[in-house]
Amino acid sequence: MARTNYIFTSESVSEGHPDKVSDRISDEIVDLFLTRAHETDEIDPWDVRVAAETLTTTNHVTIAGETRGPDISKDEIEAVARAAIKDIGYEQDGFHWKNAEVNVLLHGQSAHIAQGVDKAAEAKAGADATNERAMEGAGDQGIMFGYACRDTDVLMPAPIFYSHKILEDLAKLRHSGKDGGERLGPDSKSQVSVIYENGKPVGVSQIVVSHQHSLESDTSADIRDLIEPTVRNCLPDGWITNETVWHVNPTGAFVIGGPDGDAGLTGRKIIVDTYGGYAPHGGGAFSGKDSTKVDRSAAYASRYLAKNIVAAGIADWASIQLSYAIGVAQPLSIYVDTGGNSALEERLEKVLGQVMDLTPTGIREHLELTKPIFAKTAAYGHFGRTPTDEGHFSWERTDLVDALQKAM
């Protein structure tokens, strides 16, 4: 951003938001297919394909899309959906994990899409395909962006990072059933307006939290009293002042929530999933897609590269765009923006493809994206999370720093 003094706002939504319930179910289906592939010899996990879209509304779930992989019954998919709803915490009359109707409409993957993924353009032209995986083309055309900056320790923009943290910590309070958490429902939204001075986040001008609750008698003031300690603990010392304006359940009662209050769809919270509007977004959703879909895998790769550039001290912030064509393995373009240092940016554009193989196969191998690691991404953002030994959030590692520093 060119300005150094400004206020920037980002929002987040909780795991119980209707769209996030849909994302969670879709990602649980991706993990189900990958888990079964790893456990059996029916199919190589590399060859699993899932594109699952979920609609949730009053006591109803519809799952549609395409798959290729192990033999998994509709009953098993339904069971995964119900388990996800139960884990989120929905046991309401209008949306209950046990009573909701679940309609599974998944079918086999289109042969025309499959041929684009399985054989890149070079293979079609008659190149010697000594490694079939190396010939995998992108699952679709598209542009993907990654971003990192020094606002926070995890190199994420402050507005979206703290919006996520507020809801994640409130969800922990709710699941604990203690200190009033039993009065909170699964559905909630947050919004944080961060004050920047000299390009650095220094405070919060406005805080918005709308949180579902179980008691009709609870007022907005009651809910504020309940959640305020958690919100304050999420933000750095001194960021909340007497001038900070709070909006807690500003419309009043919020008892009917989740899919009973508003229909949910997979992929409808893509800005919440990424950088809260602080950085560009390519437009493609992540949830419900296996890693051959570059909407997901290349977005993870571009975040990984941007984070490592900043972690390496090469730039204070970095925005990276990758572009792909269906059936073509190599990215069509690599674009780097670090704020106007054209020599640095041009050098990085050449180096990135040297330190990491940016074909779909290269990304999937480097970030271990054939593991069943996606359900955890469905709420509280895909970026700025903590990588695990099991492979979750591998794109948040900073293990490319030495290679980047050496290449530069």
Strands of the sheet with 317-324, listed across from one edge: 142-149, 317-324, 333-337
Beta-carbon neighbour count of residue 345 at 10 Å?
Answer: 18
Task: Give the residue from 2, 384, 379 showing the smallest Cα distance to 187.
Answer: 379
CA distance 30 to 119: 22
Q: Phi/psi zone of residue 229: left (φ > 0), alpha (ψ -120 to 50 degrees), beta?
A: alpha
Contact 21, 192 (CB under 8 A): no
Helix (H, G, I), strand (E, B) or coil at 204: strand
Give the dihedral of Cα atoms 398, 402, 406, 408; nearest 10 deg.
20
Q: Which residues are CB-neighbours of 272 under 8 A, at least 6 positions away?
A: 11, 12, 13, 160, 381
CA distance 294 to 292: 6
Q: Which residues are CB-neighbours of 41 under 8 A, at least 6 positions away?
A: none
Contact 371, 310 (CB under 8 A): no
Task: Give the residue from 41, 24, 23, 67 showing the smallest Cα distance to 290.
Answer: 67
Give the dihedral of Cα atoms 16, 17, 20, 25; nearest 10 deg.
50
Beta-carbon neighbour count of residue 407 at 10 Å?
Answer: 15
Active site residues: 17, 19-20, 53, 66, 189, 254, 262-263, 268-269, 289, 293, 295
**Lookup: tokens for 381:** 């953002």
Quote the DSSP letter at residue 325. Answer: -
What CA–CA distances, in Å, run from 229 to 53, 152, 173, 195, 295?
A: 37, 21, 11, 21, 38
